[in-house]
Chain A
């Protein structure tokens, strides 16, 4: 009885102790799944955003030190030298990654607007279908080539 109780608490602490990582894995996989499974281009971008957000979370949790506060230099100026603070470097890195993510999203959305102007749809299957039909109509003699 006590044995299994120990095991239970072991597993519990394994889950609780790594909670940010579990959330990171769940977010990452759901984001990736949305990107792969959805045909709607906007939904793909949403999935991509979730996927990238999971990485932000991963980085922030790397920098966390238990009991640490925000890394602010004022404490040092006030003469406190024993302040424990989180590692600021991952935060800085992830700021850059957020900027990259925003740029990617903006560009993706701009492309979707152009695609919608040209095709009048944002469903991947319909776009592919229209491309195939246009291709067949134009190249009747090139029967050997299967356009992918």
Chain B
């Protein structure tokens, strides 16, 4: 027994699934103890890079379809908590850690314009806790653990959003509303877990799916599923439950918006996917009915309405927030098809949109550092004054629209293919219409950026601010040209989940 324990300690690679979550969690209190801005940033950056290395290793290990499991404390499930990494969550772990590294790099210079210096240590601590929560939600295979990590990430997100109050006090009420909505969502989720536990007596996802199969069409499980759909719908801002999102995104500091827009809603959607495919049997009548008659219409409404509202927004942060709603609509739509192709399209779009939206919000953040104002009228002519940042914004915009050669094209193509395969050609038309609306609101910004006189008092920003934006913009192009990273893994993930 003792030699066995020794052996597991020696192999660091066996512990990667948990290290991923533990590293940022441990760094957070350490930087609070040091309470020095520079050390805080260095350690946080170091931590996110470790997370990135681990996530790449995990993705490499799971790309061939194998599944890594880790038993916390050596307790074998269903008694103990299990961490389970397969292709589906390794791709999300990668997205979250890449975005966190880039955002961390960007924040070294960008944060100072929005949050006072003495708060930076605590800010980074919160950021790391948020990262811990998001990574934990994705890595775990225990449904109650999902809730705990979800709340760790949500609670730190509320704090991060409220940090925007140093620039605009409306961040406080936005954060409060987010807190109320998020807590209602999380509580619904817990009720759902309670129902599932009541019916199956287990909290481990694999175990539940086996036991639920024996139970057949059980009303308690159906009730649990309904609660989980509503709870996660609130967290992922599915359309009638999205009210918290535009304000939270637009009043939070840019660094936070960037990180949240790229990761938080995707993680909630991942939880929904995981529950539908790994916990519940998606072939049951009630699951497919809910998806066909509830999620699909809501996804289509989100796609159209989000884009239309975005067209009329003058506050650019809000414009991008509403565009995020529309993009979440695409992902929900892909999921609601309940086909392998649809699911893989949804997963690819999660990653591609993560990079795209992060690039757009980051470029917008760079504009705001110069202009101190998120409104459309303030960025007049910045295309000439800040050529690099503006070009990156245009690349992100093209990817959002779905122009060939960018990441957005790949995922929209896959989505339309999946929709046509299922025979819903009207829905395919709706996707195209929504993309056309995206052309309108992106063009509106590009026009103001480039077709105005060059302002005199604004110049290009430093290397440290422009390079992370360009890394994200290059990701948008790279993922549009090389689909090996996203599409192959997403196909593998869809195969495993089905």
Contact = CB atoms under 8 A, between A and B. Distances in A.
Contact of B190 (A55, A115, A128): A55
Contacts of A124: 173
B165 interface: yes
Interface string B131-159: 00000000000001001100100010011
B194 A62 contact: yes
Interface stretch (B7-15, B309-317, B454-462, B480-488): B309-317
15 contacts: A35-B180, A48-B180, A48-B183, A52-B183, A52-B187, A55-B191, A62-B198, A93-B144, A100-B155, A104-B151, A114-B162, A114-B172, A115-B176, A124-B173, A148-B246
Given A100-B155, A103-B155, A139-B314, 19 more contacts: A32-B184, A58-B191, A58-B194, A93-B197, A100-B148, A100-B151, A103-B151, A104-B151, A104-B179, A107-B158, A107-B179, A108-B176, A111-B176, A114-B165, A118-B172, A124-B173, A131-B170, A144-B314, A145-B315
Chain B CB within 10 Å, residue with most, of A111, A139, A148: A111
Q: Which 3 A-B pairs have the closest CB atoms?
A: A118-B169, A145-B314, A100-B151
A96 B144 contact: yes
Given A62-B194, A100-B151, A141-B377, A51 B312 contact: no
Contacts of B173: 115, 124, 127-128, 131
Contact of B169 (A32, A119, A142): A119
B375 interface: yes
Interface residues of A, number: 38
Interface string A129-146: 001000000010110110
A144 B172 CA distance: 25
Interface in A56-80: 58-59, 62
Interface residues of B, number: 34
A90 interface: yes
Nearest to A87: B201
Chain A at the B interface: SS class: helix
A112 interface: yes
A142 B377 CA distance: 9
Contacts of B158: 107, 111
Contact of B375 (A41, A103, A115, A139): A139
B175 interface: yes
A97 interface: yes
A122 B205 CA distance: 42
Nearest to A142: B314
Nearest to A52: B187
Contacts of B144: 93, 96
A52 B189 CA distance: 11
Interface of A: 28, 32, 35, 41, 44, 48, 51-52, 55, 58-59, 62, 89-90, 93, 96-97, 100, 103-104, 107-108, 111-112, 114-115, 118-119, 124, 127-128, 131, 139, 141-142, 144-145, 148
B162 A145 contact: no
A62 B313 contact: no
Contacts of B169: 118-119
A107 B151 contact: no
A127 to B, nearest CB: 6
Contacts of A139: 314, 375
A142 B165 CA distance: 23
Contacts of B247: 148
B155 A104 contact: yes
Contacts of A44: 180
Nearest to B186: A100
Nearest to A104: B183
A124 B173 CA distance: 9
Contact of B175 (A48, A89, A111, A141): A111
Contacts of A35: 180, 184
